[in-house]
Structure formats: structure tokens, C-alpha cells
């Protein structure tokens, strides 16, 4: 799959490169694995005349140092054949930037922690001594975000506060994925929902699907080929992505992520299925939310107390993996992936419905013209109460004078009279919307509703978004 839609990230790197022509720069490029950081950096380096790219693998320090020396000699022939220490190699990189800018990329930079942590102190020493006299651009690319942040922000870390720029490589936004799918004759919001539920916006997963000629096929075919079969490339993906983040603590984290992905989104529900006391869960959840950024907590819109909070796994693929793959590993190992696929086929519409709601929320927040509300919303979310009443889409204006209440249905056939009348009844139970606000109502669905339902919606002053 060709390189797509990283124009902003490329421009950010190029802007830093232009600054490096005047003064040394130390750039961090952070992001989860599979986000395309290496592809981005390699694309950037195509326009950099003097550069060295080095992938930090976990091997013997001597072997890694010899590999680095060989690569350095290829761009700086004066060092060919020399047996240098890390101190000499790092100094050579700075010296290469004495007369002209020189860029050095360390990919998977955090691996130095496991190979030879002294590299961090050596880099600090030469940066502090020489960065004002040289024009070097150091780029540290890292996938284990929590570890990279400790390396560059920890109070006792040698490289603390040395970074001059930081770039986070995020998943592709929905409109990019929608365009990519259209290139493979998978057009429309329904196809976006089906693929986003499985792969989210992760570039690598779509690249794998494209390389295997799966993007133009039903997503269930891609699920079987890429995730469930014994030789599937993504079968162990969830563990591979997270095991380095959690190390020995991974069993607790995986139990919590599995519970949330399965729909156990409140503390007591999680405690019931994980066996972790409800009083102990908040500490683990805070780490998953704040330190690892894997979980998010959602409150009913307008709820200031926070007692009704629900948790969700932020990444769609990890939600899918912890809902369908991790709990069924025994069946998969026994060669019964067909049974797991049958379960997925039956259960997936539930997860797709949640994805649809999330995409509608995001589209409204980001100003998607297809989802324009009667007013500019200041806040968008969901609403629910202790009695089990839920509204899929709730928004309010910045001045607090207008409110919107909406429901989402993937199929236009699911939009009926009960849904229309129920929406207004549920909206009347939202406490903050009762005091003189102008209320608007709407239904978001895919496809065309019947003329009877359209007439009923008009009579009730409910707007239909037939997407």
C-alpha cells in the first residue's frame, strides 16, 4: 500500500529539519506499534541529504555497536574500520554535523534501555557539550510510549528535558479510511463502520489487508485470514503490542481489558468477572487511562458527580482482540477457528453499533458536513441514568440555551414509531435539559426509512439523517 495522508506529520519533521540547519534539534517521534512511524521517518529521510538511520534491536551490545559503526562508516568514510566505543560513535555523529547539518534516526530508541542504558548518559553528555556548536538533528523513534516518556521526562533520567520537539503519530482518521476503502470498491459509511470496528485507523492493518487482496472483500474474510487462522499475522497482536508495556503486570491489565471489551464497563461489573476487588480497580484503571492511554472513562453528558462513569478500550482493534481472540485462545489453538468465527459473526453487530455511535460523535465534533446539527455544539456525548435510560447522542450549545438528543441505528429498517416516540420521552428525563432549553431531536441511520416513518418523524419534529 502506498504512503498516504501523513502530510502534517511530514511537514512537522521538515520544519524541525529546517531549524536544525541553524541549531541542533532533538525530536521524539512517539506512537503505538503499527502506526507507521518507521514508514513516516523513511519518507522524511528521502529529502534529507546527510542522514543515518539506525534500528535499535535487542542484541548483544557489542553486536549492536558494530552494526552502528558499519552504518556510520558508510556515510562518514573517515570512520571505516575503526573499533569505536559508544562514546566515540555518538561523538562522531556530532562531529559529522560540524560543517553541515547531519540527521541521525534511532528507531525503537527505548531498546537501548535493555541493550546498554549507558547510551542515554553518553547522548546527554555530548548533547550538552556540543548541541550549540553543531547542527545535528537527533530523532528518537519509540513504540513503548510509557517507557519513552520515562526516558525523556523522568526526574533522574539523563535525557530528561533534552527533547526540543515531539511528534505523536496517531491512527488515520475515519475520512482517510473511508477514502481508502472506496479505492477498493467498499464505499459508504456502512463499510467504514464494519472495517473500523476491526482495524480502527491503524495503517499497518490496512496495509496487510491490501497486500493480501482482502480490502475489497467482506471484513469477515479478513478477520479469518489475518486474525483467526493458525498462520494469521495478527492472531497474537494484542499480546505483542502490550507485553512490553506491562511486563510482569500484564495478567492484571489483560483481565481488565478483557472485561471492558466484553461490555463490563463499570467497576462492580469488572470486579465480578476479574476477581479484583472493586476498591482496588481504580488504581489499575488510572494507570491504564493516564500512563498507558489504553482506556478512557466516559460520563453521561452534564454529569458533574462522576458516579455513573463507564470505561472503554480506546483502540478498536484491541477492543476486538480482547473481546474475540484473547478469551477464545484455547479454541483457536485447538484449530477451531471456525467456531470462533461463528461467534464473531453473531456478536459483531453489537460492537458495530457502538462503533457507529462513536463515529457519529466524532463526526459531529469535527464538523462533518453530513452531520451538521441545528447549532454549533460545545459538548457531544451520550447520556444515561441509574434506571437504565440511555440516549446515543446528546449535545448542548456553548451558551447552554440549546440541546440535541439523538439515536443511532445502523439499519434504516430499525427506525420505527417506538424509537421516535421513545426518544422524546427519554430526553424529558435529562435533568439539565429541562430548564428552558430549546430541544432538537434526530435519528442517525444508514439507508432510507419508509415514507410512513418519515412522515411520523416530521410530525414529531425529529430530523432524519439518512447517511
Task: Collect all residues with Cβ–Cβ distance below 8 Å to 128 and sequence separation of at least 6.
Answer: none
Residues of the chain falling short of pLDDT 50: none
- What pTM was estimated for this model as a whole? 0.91
Integer Cα distance of 126 and 107 in angstroms: 19
C-alpha cell at 130: 556540543
Three-class DSSP category at 64: helix
Q: 288 vs 66, 167, 306, 457, CA distance in Å? A: 38, 22, 18, 42
Contact 298, 379 (CB under 8 A): no
DSSP 287: I
Integer Cα distance of 138 and 187 in angstroms: 42
Structural domains in the chain, CATH included, are 7-168 (3.40.50.300), 237-334 (1.10.10.10), 373-466 (3.40.1350.10)
Q: Are strands 295-298 and 462-466 parallel, antiparallel or unpaired?
A: unpaired
Give pLDDT, residue 304: 75
Exposed (0-12), middle (13-18) or buried (19+): which is 217, by Cβ within 10 Å? middle
pLDDT digit string, tens, across residues 217-245: 999 999 999 999 999 999 999 999 888 78
Integer Cα distance of 169 and 139 in angstroms: 14
Give pLDDT, residue 437: 82
Contact 143, 104 (CB under 8 A): no
Integer Cα distance of 420 and 441 in angstroms: 9
**In which region does residue 306 sit, left (phi positive, over 0), alpha (psi from -120 to 50) or beta (all else)?**
left
Angle, CA 424 vertex, CA 190 and CA 422 arms, to 5°: 65
Integer Cα distance of 56 and 194 in angstroms: 36
pLDDT digit string, tens, across residues 388-410: 999 999 999 988 899 999 999 99
* Strand order across the beta sheet in which 136-142 lies: 51-55, 102-107, 136-142, 25-30, 165-168
Q: 151 vs 122, 123, 410, CA distance in Å? A: 14, 12, 45
Give pLDDT, residue 244: 79
The beta-strand segments (E) located in 327-427 are 377-384, 390-397, 402-409
Radius of gyration of the chain (CA): 26
Amino acid at each position: 500500500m502506498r504512503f498516504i495522508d501523513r502530510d502534517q506529520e511530514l511537514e512537522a519533521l521538515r520544519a524541525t529539519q529546517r531549524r536544525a540547519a541553524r541549531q541542533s534539534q532533538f525530536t521524539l517521534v512517539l506512537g503505538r506499534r503499527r502506526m507507521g512511524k518507521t514508514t513516516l521517518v523513511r519518507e522524511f529521510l528521502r529529502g534529507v541529504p546527510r542522514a543515518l538511520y539506525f534500528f535499535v534491536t535487542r542484541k548483544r551490545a557489542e553486536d549492536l555497536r558494530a552494526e552502528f559503526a558499519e552504518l556510520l562508516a558508510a556515510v562518514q568514510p573517515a570512520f571505516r574500520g575503526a573499533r569505536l566505543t559508544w562514546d566515540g560513535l555518538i561523538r562522531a555523529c556530532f562531529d559529522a554535523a560540524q560543517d553541515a547539518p547531519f540527521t541521525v534516526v534511532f528507531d525503537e530508541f527505548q531498546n537501548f534501555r535493555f541493550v546498554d542504558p549507558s547510551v542515554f548518559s553518553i547522548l546527554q553528555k555530548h548533547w550538552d557539550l556540543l548541541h550549540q556548536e553543531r547542527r545535528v538533528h537527533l530523532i528518537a523513534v519509540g513504540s513503548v510510549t510509557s517507557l519513552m516518556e520515562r526516558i525523556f521526562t523522568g526526574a533522574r533520567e539523563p535525557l530528561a528535558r533534552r527533547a526540543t520537539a515531539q511528534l505523536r503519530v496517531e491512527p488515520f482518521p475515519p475520512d482517510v479510511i473511508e477514502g481508502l476503502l472506496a479505492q477498493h470498491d467498499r464505499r459508504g459509511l456502512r463499510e467504514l463502520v464494519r472495517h473500523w470496528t476491526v482495524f480502527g485507523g491503524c495503517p499497518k492493518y490496512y496495509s496487510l489487508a491490501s497486500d493480501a487482496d482482502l480490502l475489497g472483500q467482506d471484513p469477515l474474510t479478513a478477520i479469518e485470514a489475518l486474525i483467526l487462522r493458525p498462520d494469521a499475522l495478527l492472531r497474537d497482536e494484542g499480546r505483542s503490542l502490550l507485553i512490553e508495556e506491562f511486563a510482569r503486570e500484564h495478567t492484571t491489565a489483560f483481565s481488565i481489558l478483557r472485561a471492558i471489551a466484553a461490555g463490563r464497563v463499570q467497576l462492580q461489573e469488572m470486579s465480578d468477572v476479574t476477581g479484583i476487588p472493586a476498591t482496588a480497580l481504580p488504581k489499575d484503571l488510572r494507570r491504564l487511562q493516564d500512563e498507558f492511554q489504553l482506556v478512557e472513562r466516559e460520563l453521561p453528558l452534564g454529569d458533574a458527580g462522576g458516579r455513573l462513569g463507564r470505561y472503554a478500550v480506546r483502540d478498536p482493534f484491541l477492543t476486538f482482540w480482547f473481546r474475540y481472540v484473547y478469551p477464545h485462545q484455547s479454541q483457536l489453538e485447538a484449530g477451531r477457528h471456525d467456531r470462533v468465527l461463528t461467534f464473531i459473526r453473531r456478536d459483531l453487530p453489537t460492537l458495530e453499533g457502538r462503533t457507529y455511535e462513536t463515529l457519529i460523535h466524532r463526526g459531529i465534533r469535527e464538523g462533518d458536513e453530513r452531520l451538521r446539527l441545528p447549532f454549533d455544539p460545545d459538548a457531544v456525548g451520550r447520556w444515561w441514568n441509574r434506571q437504565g435510560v440511555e440516549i446515543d447522542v446528546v449535545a448542548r450549545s456553548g451558551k447552554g440555551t440549546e440541546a440535541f438528543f439523538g439515536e443511532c441505528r445502523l439499519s434504516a429498517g430499525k427506525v420505527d414509531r417506538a424509537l421516535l416516540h421513545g426518544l422524546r420521552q427519554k430526553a424529558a428525563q435529562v435533568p439539565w435539559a429541562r430548564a428552558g432549553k430549546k430541544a432538537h431531536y434526530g435519528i442517525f441511520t444508514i439507508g432510507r426509512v419508509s415514507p410512513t416513518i418519515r412522515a411520523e418523524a416530521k410530525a414529531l419534529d425529529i430530523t432524519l439523517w439518512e447517511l
